[in-house]
């Protein structure tokens, strides 16, 4: 390789390499270092000890939040998949006009461009104790007094998060369904296989990679969310990101916050790794 | 016949319900920005523009809006300057550590924003840098890099290498080839991902939350207003943001359509 070419490559390479090193690699490394530090009132001091991690896995307060966050992320992903799959299926296999299909696809993806905060906020105005749903039910006589069952619980949070993240579920499922050749379904029908069985033994297995991709994305996004819990979650709706945020705010325990963030990072990374393996496996089988 | 009719009806009802789930909340947001009563309850009481007038007079809000504009424009520019070469590097250049580089740069797509936020907060604190809008810009540019890289990289992969080779054979320099051949071919991907990055930055909370100093961005301003209670003024800001999003969506659909006709 001649010198000029090498110089050119260095010029293309160096800005992104420097940037990712300085603003991604170094911060993650410092985060790791901080997770071994120790809280010492009123702030914290350098140390090398595993106290923060021990605290996370022995203090039920933190452990319970992690479990709750996993549970909520699971139900959000499941709910989103149950809504997104029929929608994507309808678009690919039932809508004949390409124009209408594009419009319906955009209809579900477009909200991604609309402020996430506002989309969560509007659910708060709808579900609140004095909110629109309650006053609507009262004015129609279904309820005689406002009910607090709608807001500040985990169901409200799950509904809000499904609403916010559903585009991430529709996109990959749509992408895999679109690639399934219609001839496969026709062949199955020609062989006298019923539609339900064709779906279960042809369409559904072929769409698993898309479901896995959507599930992973929705799960990870929900897992790190701290806005929906704040807006509609209430006291039993705190998620791990809220606990992390409070360590960097009111509690002023950055080392514990850093350790919690690393636990979160590890969980997210292992989910991505497993899902990657799974998708590759799927591709190998169907290619 | 009747079976297929009832089946079609079931589909239409189901899809309509999903669309209602998607759009009723946005309709509610916009409708209540014009509602005369201060409380967000049913029934609605009458039409007013009062909340929009209040916005126009709210200086903290207007400052926050300009701050967000400043942050989003700077972060988008920065992320394009870093992201386009990064995509080129991933597509065309082999170098040691490429695998790690790819993993790192794409990580923020699935990584919760809060991790980028706090890790940069700790970095800035360690370096003794004060929190400010500029810190937020660096944070956004980092978090949004993945958006630009994935879209530009995808476009580069569909671009035949022969174009670049032909240009070089004809004696064009690397820079000439980039600006005259490569860039025009990936233009729509660059603009499209830039627009998405702009929208995401304009709306960003998790990173901003940890990195902003005394100045508020628009979402942080809305967030702190929400802490104090729900008011129709938030609905009015929200409706304006929805309007802005609709414009951006139309522009981006246009862009995509242009790309498709170009490729034919």
Q: Does A9 touch chain B (CB under 8 A)?
A: yes
Distance between CA atoms of A222 and A233, rounded to whole angstroms?
13
Q: Write the DSSP string, B41-60.
A: -SSP--B--HHHHHHHH-HH
pLDDT given at position B14: 92
pTM of the model: 0.87
Residue B191 lies in a domain: yes
The answer to whether the Cβ–Cβ distance between A13 and B93 falls below 8 Å is yes
Q: Does A57 touch chain B (CB under 8 A)?
A: no
Residue B179 lies in a domain: yes
Query: Would you state the structure tokens that stand for residue A192, as one six-digit string?
Result: 């006298």
Chain B residues closer than 8 Å to A139 by CB? 42-43
pLDDT given at position A287: 35
Residue B223 lies in a domain: yes
Distance between CA atoms of A215 and A209, rounded to whole angstroms?
10
Q: What is the pLDDT along chain B (264 residues), one digit of tens a residue?
A: 466 888 889 999 999 999 999 999 899 889 888 887 877 777 778 888 888 988 888 888 899 999 999 999 999 999 999 999 999 889 888 888 888 888 888 888 778 889 999 999 999 998 998 889 999 999 999 999 999 999 899 888 888 878 778 887 887 777 788 888 888 888 888 998 998 899 889 989 999 999 998 889 999 998 888 887 778 888 898 899 889 888 888 887 787 777 665 554
Residue A31 lies in a domain: no
Distance between CA atoms of B144 and B235, rounded to whole angstroms?
27
The answer to whether the Cβ–Cβ distance between B89 and A221 falls below 8 Å is no
Residue B145 lies in a domain: yes
Residue A203 lies in a domain: yes
The alpha carbons of chain B give a radius of gyration, in whole angstroms, of 23
CB-based burial of residue B47 (10 Å sphere; 0-12 exposed, 13-18 middle, 19+ buried)?
exposed
Residue A2 lies in a domain: no
Q: Does A146 touch chain B (CB under 8 A)?
A: no
The residue whose two tokens read 């009806």 is B9
Q: Could you report the average pLDDT of every consecutive run of 10 residues in chain A (287 residues)?
A: 72 88 92 89 81 89 92 96 95 88 89 84 81 80 72 84 93 91 80 82 87 93 89 82 89 90 92 84 52
Residue A6 lies in a domain: no
Number of structural domains (chain A) is: 1
Residue A119 lies in a domain: yes
The answer to whether the Cβ–Cβ distance between B25 and A30 falls below 8 Å is no
Residue A34 lies in a domain: no
pLDDT given at position A285: 46
**What is the CATH classification number for the domain harbouring B214?**
1.10.3720.10
Residue B256 lies in a domain: no
**What is the CATH classification number for the domain harbouring A202?**
1.10.3720.10
Range of the domain at B206: 59-230
Residue B103 lies in a domain: yes
In this prediction the ipTM stands at 0.84
CB A262 within 8 A of CB A32: yes
Residue A10 lies in a domain: no
CB-based burial of residue A194 (10 Å sphere; 0-12 exposed, 13-18 middle, 19+ buried)?
exposed
Among B72, B26, B65, smallest CA distance to B200 is for: B72
The answer to whether the Cβ–Cβ distance between A24 and B107 falls below 8 Å is yes
Distance between CA atoms of B29 and A118, rounded to whole angstroms?
8
Range of the domain at A200: 53-286
Number of structural domains (chain B) is: 1
pLDDT given at position A161: 94
- Closest Cα of chain B to A103: distance in Å? 10
pLDDT given at position B123: 94
Residue A111 lies in a domain: yes
């Amino acid at each position: 390789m001649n010198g000029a070419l090498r110089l050119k490559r260095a010029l293309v390479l160096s800005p992104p390499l420097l940037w990712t090193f300085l603003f991604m690699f170094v911060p993650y490394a410092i985060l790791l270092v901080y997770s071994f530090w120790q809280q010492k009132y009123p702030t914290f001091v350098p140390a090398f000890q595993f106290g923060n991690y021990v605290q996370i896995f022995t203090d039920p307060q933190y452990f319970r939040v992690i479990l709750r966050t996993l549970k909520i992320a699971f139900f959000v992903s499941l709910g989103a998949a149950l809504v997104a799959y029929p929608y994507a299926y309808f678009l690919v296999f039932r809508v004949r006009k390409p124009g209408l299909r594009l419009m319906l696809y955009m209809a579900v993806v477009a909200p991604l461009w609309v402020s996430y905060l506002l989309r969560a906020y509007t659910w708060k105005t709808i579900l609140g104790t004095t909110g629109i749903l309650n006053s609507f039910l009262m004015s129609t006589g279904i309820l005689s007094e406002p009910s607090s069952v709608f807001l500040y619980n985990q169901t409200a949070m799950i509904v809000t998060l499904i609403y916010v993240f559903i585009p991430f579920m529709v996109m990959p499922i749509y992408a895999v369904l679109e690639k399934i050749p219609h001839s496969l379904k026709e062949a199955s029908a020609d062989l006298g296989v019923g539609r339900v069985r064709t779906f279960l033994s042809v369409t559904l297995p072929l769409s698993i990679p898309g479901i896995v991709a959507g599930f992973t994305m929705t799960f990870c996004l929900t897992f790190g969310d701290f806005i929906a819990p704040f807006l509609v979650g209430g006291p039993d709706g705190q998620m791990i990101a809220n606990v992390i945020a409070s360590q960097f705010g009111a509690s002023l325990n950055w080392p514990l916050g850093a350790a919690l963030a690393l636990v979160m990072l590890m969980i997210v990374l292992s989910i991505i790794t497993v899902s990657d393996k799974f998708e590759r496996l799927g591709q190998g089988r169907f290619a | 016949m009747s079976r297929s009719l009832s089946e079609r009806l079931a589909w239409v009802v189901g899809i309509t319900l999903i669309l209602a789930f998607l759009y009723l909340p946005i309709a509610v947001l916009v409708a209540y920005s014009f509602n005369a009563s201060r409380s967000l309850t049913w029934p609605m009481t009458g039409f007013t523009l009062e909340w929009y007038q209040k916005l126009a007079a709210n200086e903290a809000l207007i400052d926050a809006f300009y701050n967000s504009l400043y942050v989003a424009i700077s972060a988008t520019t920065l992320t394009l300057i870093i992201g386009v070469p990064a995509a080129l590097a991933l597509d065309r250049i082999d170098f040691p550590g490429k695998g790690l580089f790819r993993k790192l740069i794409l990580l923020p797509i699935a990584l919760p924003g809060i991790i980028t936020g706090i890790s940069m907060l700790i970095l800035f604190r360690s370096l003794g840098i004060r929190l400010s809008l500029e810190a937020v810009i660096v944070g956004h540019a980092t978090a949004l890099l993945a958006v630009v890289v994935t879209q530009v990289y995808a476009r580069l992969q569909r671009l035949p290498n022969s174009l670049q080779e032909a240009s070089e054979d004809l004696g064009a320099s690397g820079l000439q080839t980039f600006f005259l051949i490569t860039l025009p071919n990936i233009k729509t991907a660059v603009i499209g991902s830039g627009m998405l990055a702009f929208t995401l930055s304009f709306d960003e909370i998790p990173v901003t939350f940890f990195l902003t100093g005394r100045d508020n961005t628009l979402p942080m301003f809305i967030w702190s207003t929400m802490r104090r209670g729900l008011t129709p003024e938030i609905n009015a800001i929200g409706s304006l943001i929805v309007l802005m999003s609709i414009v951006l969506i139309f522009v981006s659909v246009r862009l995509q359509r242009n790309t498709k006709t170009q490729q034919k």
